[in-house]
């Protein structure tokens, strides 16, 4: 153990490092049909839309006010309960990822984060899962008001971290985010699992 093809690796958080389960905060709080309605992907102004707006910098109160405007106060209360219990969505780390972080760090690879998430829950995740503290810094979309795959957020991470894109990998579960990283000079890797990512990073 001790060699890697890259000097630096930048990781996405949700579904790469973190097993994020957004239904958990509402499980047991409402009937299953209500929870299904809340997460309905066909709803133009549903959870996915406001999750993206939250990641883009909207405050919780702004999200709640706009959601209520589209759905009414009774349904908006479900979103308030979600926010109150949101930390429960941070279920665990993805299998094998604590070991991969440890092994990369031991090999002298510098580790970073770049995530479409809120600063509040990045900090919560770092408190809950100490392995995440191996990341030297994290660029968080809600603080930048830019989300992946906008090229600007990758460039901002490169500049802030002081990395050489030619020797830096970016790992994300979404192929289009990995491709956007490649387009700005990083080595984008689509995450499937820890073993596949270890191989893609050339860690031996």
Is the entire prediction scored with pTM above 0.75? Answer: yes
Beta bridge partners of 20: 90
Q: What is the predicted pLDDT for the residue at 148?
A: 98
Residue ranges of the chain whose pLDDT lies below 50: none
C-alpha dist (Å) from residue 37 to 82, 90, 180: 13, 21, 32
> Which of 125, 98, 114, 122 shows the shortest CA–CA distance to 177?
114
Query: What HEC string does the chain produce?
Result: CCCCCCCEEEECCECCCEEECCCCCCECCECHHHHHHHCCCCCCCCHHHHHHHHHCCCCHHHHHHHHHHHHCHHHHHHHHHHHHCHHHHEEEECCCHHHHHHHHHHCCCEEEEEECCCHHHHHHHHHHCHHHHHCCCEEEHHHHCCCCCCHHHHHHHHHHHCCCHHHEEEEECCHHHHHHHHHCCCEEEECCCHHHHHHHCCCC
Rg (CA), the chain: 18
| pLDDT, position 2 | 66
């Amino acid at each position: 153990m001790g060699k890697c093809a890259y000097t630096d690796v930048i990781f996405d958080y949700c579904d790469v490092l973190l097993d994020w389960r957004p239904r958990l905060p509402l499980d047991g709080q409402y009937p299953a049909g209500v929870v299904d309605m809340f997460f309905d992907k066909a709803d133009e102004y549903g959870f996915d839309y406001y999750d993206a707006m939250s990641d883009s910098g909207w405050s919780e109160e702004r999200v709640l006010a706009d959601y209520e405007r589209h759905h009414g106060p009774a349904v908006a209360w479900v979103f308030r309960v979600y926010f109150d219990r949101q930390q429960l969505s941070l279920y665990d780390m993805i299998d094998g990822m604590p070991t991969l972080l440890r092994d990369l760090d031991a090999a002298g690879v510098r580790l970073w984060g770049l995530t479409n998430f809120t600063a509040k829950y990045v900090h919560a995740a770092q408190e809950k899962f100490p392995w995440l503290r191996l990341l030297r810094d994290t660029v968080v979309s809600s603080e930048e008001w830019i989300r992946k795959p906008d090229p600007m957020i990758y460039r901002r991470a490169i500049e802030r971290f002081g990395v050489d894109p030619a020797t830096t990998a970016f790992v994300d579960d979404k192929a289009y985010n990995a491709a956007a990283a490649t387009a700005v000079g990083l080595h984008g890797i689509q995450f499937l699992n820890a073993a596949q990512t270890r191989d893609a990073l050339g860690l031996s």
